[in-house]
Amino acid sequence: MADDACTKKVKRQYKKWPSARASQAVAKCRKKKGQVRKTSKGSDLKRWGKEQWKTASGKPCGSKGAGGSKSYCRPTKKVSSKTPSMKRPAKQAAQKRSGKRASPQRRK
């Protein structure tokens, strides 16, 4: 698939591609030019941006000093029914602390 002008512009600006922030930048550029694409992925990305994900210590996800590989991120705001649980189950937190990979959460 050929990249449009907005994708090329954003790829030059962001080191990590693809990423949520880069996707938001592409969407913003396209909206400015009037080339809006409305998809379920776009609405999920919008929801993700509003949820304000942070680590257990309250720092933004991915920030330096956020706790390293032992930290985990959870949303701080419940935006819709698709928002994952605000708290990580104790069993998964214990697995994370022990160095074992936590099993993925299942949606109800």
pLDDT at 46: 82
Q: Report the predicted TM-score, pTM, of the whole model to 2 decimal places.
A: 0.45
3-class SS of residue 75 = strand
Length of the chain: 108
Q: For residue 45, which of 60, 66, 28 has the smallest C-alpha distance?
A: 28
Q: What is the pLDDT of residues 28-80, one digit of tens each?
A: 898 888 877 677 777 887 888 888 888 777 787 766 665 555 567 788 888 88
Indicate the domain borders of the chain. Answer: 1-37, 53-96
* Token duo for residue 33: 């030019």
* Token duo for residue 10: 């954003």
**How far, in Å, CA of 89 to CA of 25, rounded?**
33
**How far, in Å, CA of 70 to CA of 24, rounded?**
27
Q: Which helix (H) or strand (E) holds 33?
A: helix 20-33
pLDDT at 48: 82
Q: Label residue 80 left, alpha or beta by phi (over 0 means left) and psi (-120 to 50 means alpha).
A: beta
